[in-house]
A and B are shown apart, each in its own frame.
Chain A
């Protein structure tokens, strides 16, 4: 086995996620990293690159096709195995939870493979966290909009200040054991229904 770093192909339709894995691998000293975003002709592309390791995202429905192609190539000359020792259930679990899998050429040093997969798993997790945070930020923004709308409705109908409108909302929420945003939502919804959507 040569001492050069194994070449890696990343199969991921999510270009942003693929890039952060690529960046991580390059930072770790990998020189030969290729990203495949487009699944058309993927088998031919991989055959041409002949990588040591293929990293693939688990949501990709083409995984069966890819696996078949890698199995077939075994007959030629490049044996392929699953990334980790079968006994390493924990590693497998964390990879599945992160949503990533990898295939390696048999005979590649186990520690090298593990390092690549560890990198992929942590970057996949980091990416999901980022997506979650973005989603939360979006929700928070939407919630604030709803609360603002509800406040305006109360201010208009009761001729109270913004501060008083908010207090009223909070009090109602506490009395009904609901979230402020829920009370605001029902208020906006009923106003919408009554006014035919004019707010």
Chain B
């Protein structure tokens, strides 16, 4: 048995790691997987850096930011696998929700519709010279921050001057909303479900609605460890992809919710975990009703494949929001932080359906489409942004240039 220590943050999208351990997928591959719950992403980063964790449940932009030297105690990390797609939602306080309804909002999750009414509220506050809305995200280098900013900007709301974006830990988000410290947030599950179930707020849109088939968490691996333990890493990836397949099967949702709700993992009632799995996280309507894609996908549509186009888009947003200046060298560091080559070589002898390319044009697929794969048939998409703008990783210079000049 090879011992591997992995950190995780209590979130529904830690499911793949937890199931790999609890359902024996790791053990089957000769891996003794130790899961250690952490309280902050900074702790995850530090313990990866000093080698107390070999791998970790990690925000997708974090390995990129670390490799670019943008975080304290930066250490070389790679992401050889994604831990699913989607899974976040935007929740606002009851007060803001009612104000939105007052100007004609009907509870649609469609990002353009919800955004249009939120924009009216922001505009009203500005005209009345009232305090800006405060919106919470979990980390500056999180998909939450970047998708929220992308959505707001597209709706004509400046994330820096029209609203205030604050960093709040996921588990404290619902209480912060209730206490009036923030007016809304973008966070992963089960923390939207918790806020909704307590009656603190309502979901207005989702990550999937803003950018379909988008990256959220990855498996972060210390580069040096990955280099020296290639076989162990490959076995781990096989175990995790099997676990992902198990997580995405509907007949396992109840069992998955039960496993995740345990005190050592999320320590939260099963029903709140189920919200993200079956789309019931909003009290009003099914979150999946407006979309062809599930709210949170663990396996289908290549949900575990570490697309380099995802890494490059996240990088483009780091540039957009002033974390660094764009250069070909930095873009290359970002691109090569995601390692589809390792994923492919680990899974080539399994029945997993693996994309043959490393990148794709984000927004090229309007519907679910059969595409070329190394074996079997792979389905991808839809994978577009809600505003129909396309991200072509080969045209990153002009994409970045265009956004900076908005």
Interface residues of A (CB under 8 A from B): 40, 58-65, 67-69, 71, 80-82, 86, 89, 92-93, 96, 101, 103
A92 to B75, CA, bound (A): 13
A82 touches which of B47, B72, B172 (Cβ 8 Å): B72
- Is B49 an interface position by the 8 A CB rule? yes
Write 27 A-B pairs (CB below 8 A) sorted by A numbering: A40-B181, A58-B39, A58-B43, A59-B39, A60-B39, A60-B40, A61-B171, A62-B169, A63-B40, A63-B42, A63-B43, A64-B41, A64-B167, A65-B166, A65-B169, A67-B72, A68-B139, A68-B167, A69-B167, A81-B72, A82-B73, A89-B51, A92-B46, A92-B49, A93-B52, A96-B52, A103-B72
Q: Which of B49, B51, B52, B138 contacts A64 (CB 8 A)?
A: B138
Closest Cβ of chain A to B176, distance in Å, is 10
User: How many A-B contacts at CB < 8 Å in the complex?
Assistant: 58
B168 at the interface (CB under 8 A from A): yes
- Chain A residues lying within 8 Å of B52, measured Cβ to Cβ, are 93, 96
Chain B residue at minimum C-beta to C-beta distance from A68: B167
A64-B72 in contact (CB<8A): no
Chain A residues, Cβ within 8 Å of B43:
58, 63
Let me know if B50 and A89 touch, CB within 8 A.
Answer: yes
> Would you call B50 and A96 a contact (CB within 8 A)?
yes
Majority SS at the chain B contact face: loop
B30 within 8 A of A: no
Flag if B140 contacts A61 (CB, 8 Å).
no
- CA A68 to CA B145, docked complex, whole Å: 12
Closest 10 CB pairs of A and B: A61-B169, A63-B40, A65-B167, A68-B167, A82-B72, A61-B39, A82-B73, A63-B42, A64-B40, A92-B50
- B67 CB to closest chain A CB (Å) equals 14
**CB-defined contacts of B50 to chain A, threshold 8 Å:** 89, 92-93, 96
The CA of A67 and the CA of B171, in the complex, are separated in Å by 17
Tell me the bound Cα distance from A61 to B173 in angstroms: 11
Q: Is the CB of A68 within 8 A of B47?
A: no
